[in-house]
């Protein structure tokens, strides 16, 4: 049974990690910076050395193609991203790109010609750390965003995504999207603690949790902290406490799959000796079942309405974003299961709690994901760590899943 060259794969991971390396062992390779360009250039050089042809689309997505014996069959895609958070880890995203390259190299080593072509994709600006929203390039690919909208996104200094693509030389000519694929895979570190806790080396990802984002705006009245007795105050922070408590109860009610996160609380004017006049509370609700997520949405709104009934504080819920739950393609999931069984790798089925490019890609092509554990579930952090044997196990599972579907007739 063929397997990837683990040392080659590991060495490439460590070589890429030198680009934008941070003092604590992470990387800063934010989208469309000079460091991102350097990583892209290195990746393309490796792909060309592996015999791939390279195309770059208008969003700067890089497509490295290995020919199949039947070029009329839609390719099997492997994809992830090379960009990082400002204080990111050296595995997030890049592992999926370089594991895909290792699959191609291994097929070359064993002179295996697949029936369908294979395309390895590195998506632009998956992280969204510089240009919001995240996953914008795969979103344009799937028709969720227009090219004009994407180009107009700005960073904190006012530079646009389109301008920066042009500056680093990655504003390609290939149209974005409208291209068929027979199957797509994304392999990634889990970014959570589930696999490590279960002592499994691979996660067979069957879908992605649905996500609802809100801003809860509570409006009271500013007043001096000293002279104003508690009973006279219109304090939005006090009004928020029972709402937040009930939201956490809501997560418990729909456990173990429900997620409730209060990401920030912004009290204005933000002065130590002034009772705030306004409090903004971000709320993030997640669940893999759309019906339950809808139930949680209605419950949240009911909690706010009931809690504030007769209150001296006014409340408003602003719906920010909704990403429906994603169910991945059965044939892609089964190919991953078959690879796990063939390789006898300790694995479990799971749902992704985070968004990935695969969410958008799944809207236009059969898709699944493969996870490997990361220490303490830590990601978006310079201390992010994945074990070498897990990286290799995941790459081997990817290899055999790709071989299965690249040989199948479409």
- pLDDT (tens, 9 = 90+) of the chain, 410 residues, equals 999 999 999 999 999 999 999 999 999 999 999 999 999 999 999 999 999 999 999 999 999 999 999 999 999 999 999 999 999 999 999 999 999 999 999 999 999 999 999 999 999 999 999 999 999 999 999 999 999 999 999 999 999 999 999 999 999 999 999 999 999 999 999 999 999 999 999 999 999 999 999 999 999 999 999 999 999 999 999 999 999 999 999 999 999 999 999 999 999 999 999 999 999 999 999 999 999 999 999 999 999 999 999 999 999 999 998 989 999 999 999 999 999 999 999 999 999 988 899 999 999 999 999 999 999 999 999 999 999 999 999 999 999 999 999 997 44
C-alpha angle 170-174-178 in degrees, rounded to nearest 5: 130
Q: Is the pTM of this model over 0.95?
A: no
**Cα–Cα separations (whole angstroms), residue 350 to 13, 113, 189:** 26, 32, 13
Judge contact between 124 and 61, C-beta under 8 A: yes
Helices (runs of H) and strands (runs of E) counted in the chain: 12, 16
Determine the Cα–Cα distance for residues 74 and 401; give it in Å rounded to an integer. Answer: 16
Q: CATH number of the domain at 210-323, out of 3.30.70.360, 3.20.20.210, 3.30.70.2860, 3.65.10.10?
A: 3.30.70.360
Annotated domain spans of the chain: 6-209+325-407, 210-323
Rounded distance, CA 339 to CA 403, Å? 10
What's the chain's Rg over C-alpha atoms?
23
Sign of the CA dihedral with 200 first, then 293, 319, and 304 last? negative
12 C-beta neighbours (distance < 10 Å), count: 21
pLDDT at 410: 41
Q: What is the pLDDT of residue 106?
A: 98
What is the model's pLDDT at position 323? Answer: 86
Residues in the chain, total:
410
User: Taking Cα atoms as reference points, which of 387, 408, 407, 380 lies closest to residue 93?
Assistant: 380
What span, in angstroms and rounded, lies between the C-alpha atoms of 19 and 70? 37
265 alpha-carbon distance from chain centroid: 24
Q: Are 227 and 273 in contact (CB under 8 A)?
A: no
Torsion of CA 319, 177, 369, 85, to 10 degrees: -60
DSSP state of 258: -
Query: Between 3.40.630.10, 3.40.50.10740, 3.10.180.10, 3.30.1330.40, what CATH number should domain 6-209+325-407 receive?
Result: 3.40.630.10
């Amino acid at each position: 049974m063929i397997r990837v060259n683990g040392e080659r794969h590991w060495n490439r991971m460590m070589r890429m990690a030198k680009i934008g390396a941070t003092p604590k062992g992470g990387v800063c390779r934010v989208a469309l910076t000079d460091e991102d360009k350097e990583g892209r250039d290195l990746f393309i050089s490796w792909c060309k050395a592996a015999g791939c042809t390279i195309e770059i689309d208008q969003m700067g997505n890089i497509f490295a193609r290995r020919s199949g014996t039947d070029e009329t069959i839609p390719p099997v895609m492997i994809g992830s991203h090379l960009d990082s958070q400002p204080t990111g880890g050296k595995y997030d995203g890049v592992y999926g790109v370089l594991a895909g390259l290792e699959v191609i190299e291994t097929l070359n080593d064993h002179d295996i010609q697949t029936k369908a072509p294979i395309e390895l994709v590195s998506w632009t600006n998956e992280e969204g750390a510089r240009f919001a929203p995240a996953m914008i390039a795969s979103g344009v690919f799937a028709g969720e965003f227009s090219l004009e909208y994407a180009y107009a996104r700005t960073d904190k200094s006012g530079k646009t995504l389109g301008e920066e693509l042009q500056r680093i030389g990655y504003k390609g000519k290939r149209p974005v999207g409208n291209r068929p694929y027979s199957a797509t895979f994304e392999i990634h570190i889990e970014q959570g603690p589930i696999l490590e806790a279960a002592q499994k080396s691979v996660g067979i990802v069957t879908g992605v949790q649905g996500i609802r984002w809100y801003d809860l705006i509570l409006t009271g009245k500013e007043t001096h902290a000293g002279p104003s007795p508690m009973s006279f105050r219109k304090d939005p922070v006090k009004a928020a406490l029972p709402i937040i408590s009930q939201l956490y109860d809501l997560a418990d009610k729909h456990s173990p799959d429900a997620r409730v996160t209060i990401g920030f609380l912004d009290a204005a004017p933000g002065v130590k000796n002034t009772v705030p006049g306004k409090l903004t509370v971000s709320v993030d609700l997640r669940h893999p079942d759309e019906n339950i997520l809808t139930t949680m949405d209605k419950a949240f709104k009911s909690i706010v309405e009931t809690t504030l009934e007769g209150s001296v504080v006014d409340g408003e819920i602003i719906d920010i974003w909704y990403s429906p739950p994603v169910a991945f393609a059965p044939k892609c999931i089964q190919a991953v299961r078959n690879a796990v069984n063939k390789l006898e790798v300790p694995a479990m089925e799971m749902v992704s709690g985070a968004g990935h490019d695969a969410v958008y890609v799944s809207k236009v092509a059969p898709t699944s994901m493969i996870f490997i554990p990361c220490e303490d579930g830590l990601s978006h952090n310079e201390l992010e760590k994945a074990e070498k044997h897990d990286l290799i196990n995941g790459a081997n599972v990817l290899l055999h899943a790709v071989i299965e579907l690249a040989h199948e007739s479409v």
